Amino acid sequence: MATLCARQAAPAALLMAMAPQLLVMPTAAAAQVQLQLSCPGTVLEARGSATLKRAISSLRVNLSVQAEAPSSQEALTLLQQRLDPVRRALQALKVNELRVSSPNVWNRYVPAGKPAVYEASSQVSGQLAPEQLQALISQVGSLSGVRLSPVDAEADQNTTAAATRQLLQAAYRDALQRGSDLAAVMGLATLRPLQVQVDGGLRPVPMAAMALARSAPAPFDPRELPEPSDRLSLEVTFCATP
């Protein structure tokens, strides 16, 4: 929920002075700059926010490969055997940025008198084209020891700069409108921005989990996945005068 507040102005130390048309992300260097500004009217603070949905460009895949055996060495050997077809299957799907973690081995608790059980696992991740979703589920998800996690939809990184500008503009307009509404209630007509604080920059919204059943009557459609969504909020300090 947007927040608004007003206070009678006196000369104050503010971190950033900004023209109405200029919006910048805060940096460590900018944070060190202090300017003495004065407002002859009333200081208003208004918060604005914006959300932007972007087209799905790729899928971020995460899965684990697991194996268990009576000894740690046997578990590791079986894990290596299971990793091999997983790599080949992902490479056949033209995976990008394939990453395989070092194995993790542990002795699973079993009741007294039962044979020892060692478990070994590795994490595998990569990037796939959206149209490979069904093949990922049917060809990779069905391999022995594979546990699929929900995929994450990713937007084209080449559009991030343009998306940032669009979010900044929309969030600033939102804050300006809220500040103008409050100023009008107070009988003030002119707003001059004194400071803009951007909260956190872009924050991609995690994709909702999708059930990855190994057999389904209809293929999984990447067009049904939630679109990647970026959200940005900022707080603007205005000087309002009659």
Query: What pLDDT, on the 0 to 100 scale, is given for residue 240?
Result: 94
Examine the domain organization and report whether 219 and 163 are in the same domain.
Answer: yes
Reply yes or no on whether the pLDDT at 165 is more than 50.
Answer: yes
User: Is the Cβ–Cβ distance between 41 and 187 less than 8 Å?
Assistant: no
- The confidence band for 225, taking pLDDT boundaries of 50, 70 and 90, is confident
Q: Which of 1-10, 79-88, 116-125, 181-190 has the lowest mean pLDDT?
A: 1-10
Examine the domain organization and report whether 142 and 116 are in the same domain.
Answer: yes
What tens digit of pLDDT does each residue of 102-150 get? 999 999 887 888 888 999 999 999 999 999 999 999 999 999 999 999 9
Query: What pLDDT, on the 0 to 100 scale, is given for residue 204?
Result: 45
- Give the chain's end-to-end CA distance (angstroms, integer): 27
What tens digit of pLDDT does each residue of 14-50 get? 333 333 333 444 444 444 444 456 899 999 999 999 9
Report percent pLDDT > 70 for the chain.
77
Examine the domain organization and report whether 167 and 213 are in the same domain.
Answer: yes
Bigger pLDDT: 217 vs 123: 123
| CATH at residue 217 | 3.30.110.170
Whether the predicted model's global pTM rises above the 0.75 cut: no
What average pLDDT does the structure give for the chain?
A: 81
Query: What pLDDT, on the 0 to 100 scale, is given for residue 200?
Result: 59
**Concatenated DSSP letters for the chain?**
---EEEEE---EEES----TT------HHHHT--EEE--SSEEEEEEEEEEEE----EEEEEEEEEEEESSHHHHHHHHHHHHHHHHHHHHHTT-EEEEEPPPEEEEE---TTSPPEEEEEEEEEEEE-GGGHHHIIIIITTSTTEEE---EEE--GGGHHHHHHHHHHHHHHHHHHHHHHHHHHTT--EEEEEEEEEEEEEEEPPPPP----SS-SS---GGGSPPPEEEEEEEEEEEEE-
Mean pLDDT of all residues in 195-221: 58
Reply yes or no on whether the pLDDT at 1 is more than 50.
Answer: no
Reply yes or no on whether the pLDDT at 90 is more than 90.
Answer: yes
Examine the domain organization and report whether 219 and 176 are in the same domain.
Answer: yes
Q: How many domains does the chain have?
A: 2
Reply yes or no on whether the pLDDT at 99 is more than 70.
Answer: yes
Reply yes or no on whether the pLDDT at 5 is more than 70.
Answer: no
Residue 133: closest CA among 227, 221, 228: 221
Examine the domain organization and report whether 217 and 228 are in the same domain.
Answer: yes
Range of the domain at 224: 4-55+157-241
Query: What pLDDT, on the 0 to 100 scale, is given for residue 209?
Result: 36
Examine the domain organization and report whether 87 and 104 are in the same domain.
Answer: yes
Examine the domain organization and report whether 26 and 82 are in the same domain.
Answer: no
| CATH at residue 134 | 3.30.70.2970
